[in-house]
Amino acid sequence: MNKKTQELYQAAVKFAGIKHDGQSMPHYKASYMVHISNVAMEVMLAYQNEPNFDLDLAVQIALLHDTIEDTNTTYEEICELFSASIADGVLALTKDESLPKEDQMIDSLNRIKLISKEAKLVKICDRITNLQSPPDSWDKQKIIKYHSEAKQIANAMKGENSYLDVRIEERIKAYEQYF
């Protein structure tokens, strides 16, 4: 990571911190910024192991990936403050809630595939980060569905980064303990 990457990281994490202020991970009772920074960390580790993508673009998308979906942030705002490439990645990672819930994942995956390699990698990193112990409120059916979605993501994004291919498969396997 170089000085430019650090500065871009700092600007994006500050923006995300302001936008996600007061939000927490409901089942972990931790600041939402823990999730955001964990996704960015996964991106950086992927780059360290296989530097076959634009780290600056991927880190910024990672830090901002939930701002449109979970805050009052607009696509235009991200374009203006960051770039259209970053905004496109964030928008692709945003669920289209006008669609039936069962269609939202495949729609998002299809949009991600059209955007950039970096958006694909962020999607993988996001799911890796989320494959921790499920919330106590989830029943077995929901846990199995989440596991199945993780496999769908892994298959759809396979081949973009071999380090992440192995990493997500390990997390998917480890998640089976919650069935």
* DSSP for residue 138: -
* Segment of 10-24, 65-79, 128-142 carrying the highest mean pLDDT: 65-79
145: tokens are: 């569905």
Query: Average pLDDT in the 150-174 region?
Result: 97
Q: pLDDT of 81-136, one tens digit each? A: 999 999 999 999 999 999 999 999 999 999 999 999 999 999 999 999 999 999 88
Lowest mean pLDDT: which of 16-30, 111-125, 144-158? 16-30
pLDDT at 26 over 70: no
pTM: 0.95
The domain that holds 83 is classified in CATH as: 1.10.3210.10
Domain encompassing residue 13 = 3-178
Higher pLDDT, 22 or 78: 78
Q: How many domains does one find in the chain?
A: 1
Nearest to 41 by CA among 22, 27, 62: 62
Q: What is the pLDDT of residues 44-75, one digit of tens each?
A: 999 999 999 999 999 999 999 999 999 999 99
Instruction: Count Cα neighbours of 9 within 13 Å in the Cβ-side half-sphere.
Output: 17
Percentage of residues in the chain having pLDDT higher than 70: 98
Res. 27: pLDDT tops 80: no
Write down the mean pLDDT value for the chain: 94
